[in-house]
Structure 1
């Protein structure tokens, strides 16, 4: 593939002709596929739609560059023709989803990753693994840099997701070292934005849905635990910048601006114009007390950092969810 020049790594792919994206019907996957198609990349989306919104691919499906295939990526990928980018996003991502699908979550991290790596190796494609900040567990180091090895329980309630991603990282690294696979790992921190399922159990959609519905905003524990929220467009831009680079080390993709969960709840209530009370409920087991990425490697190696403020991104997210609430109120 033709290479050009980019800040940091010095060499970069100018673009991708054909990409395979597992989990491309999910919240993050849909936005990634949209961006690839907008850049002129032909995209094959593999998804079994168990956690995706039913209408997530309606608009994308009208574009001749996009094709969706109903596929369980733990059993087969089976994509013919040339491929120069493979992105493995498939996985239940919310605690609510992976709690009801623990084995499937482990399998997509293990067998799904292996099959994606096999495809990338066979076609000489770049392989991008969507890993997670959860590989750091409830961190004892703050902020979390890529060299931190984490504090993860292998048997706790979050273990199926955490350990599936940690295994997937080890597998991608082994393929790169032994098979020469052009693999790179993105450790994604909490991403939010339009397109999330209101019922997926994650922080932002839960609070926004509650505020717009006039219900109490539920905050776990004391609300002093922190998160670093990255708007979806920034995350997608980070993933594609990393994919286009020659970087081979794991890279944190997230917003280094840290805030408490209680602060997020109050911001959501303000933006929704809601008077709902904040209700404190028992904390989840193994819930990280602090979460904040060190993005020095992303800034220095691929020239990426987030650009959209939390207030701006949350305003866009609230507006999107408000549209659904208005439609429901009118029976549309």
Structure 2
């Protein structure tokens, strides 16, 4: 007996593929709100600098959202295949399905989708998450108790502590270091944005270069998993190995963008420092000099009778008007 659409009243709901990651969606929404807030002030900026501020806000927020989002994406490395494989344990039933493995910095996603989706009177559309933060062996035992399909259990078993491949040690530690360096890159990005609003544009350029450096460090940390012998996954009549995926190449593109911005800012600050400060609407250090800030005025010599003025000419010699900034009076 079912309620509707094959939903049984006394059993848990069938697990299906996710539409969008909740953490990733939160990050995107936060940066969209920030973008809308900054764009609201654009009408108050006059002249040609409005376009520059728009470009600056878009590029800066793009770099920030990519750095944060890369911590939560699940496709730094991936692999997929189509295979004819057994579906459940203790059964000889074979299904044709797409099997996928997606590796992120905090865990793995294993997908199984049938071709067609409805086979053996079931909907074959799974997406299972196994995270490094918890005990993956316990998550694997729970998957066994729930009776997940064989391809998912086979791949998950490769990442347990008892597996001969030792994948959990490779991926977990490389993911931790990659995540730590990405958060450091995010801190450098924040510092660079603060310095861009101060008359120290050169240091802002240096911080953009530091942001790029830590992004490259995260990529190098994740790449260490490919320096070791790869474990081959064999499912049914096919086999596959993991390779770099979208998040890795997005991190590379963002790092190159930070290098270009940082190098351009440093170069322009060395060549035309006044011009680049004008572009970023910040004042220079020369504005703090006392000689430029003191007001100028003139004294009437008739009010100085009986007052000795250093540097004044002898009696009978006409005296030129004195400015306030050069007047030293002794009574």
Tell me whether the two structures share a fold, i.e. TM-score over 0.5. no
Please state which structure has a larger fraction of its residues in helix: 2
Q: TM-score, normalised by structure 1?
A: 0.24
Return the structure number with greater relative CO, CA threshold 8 A, min gap 6.
1
Q: Which has the larger radius of gyration?
A: 2
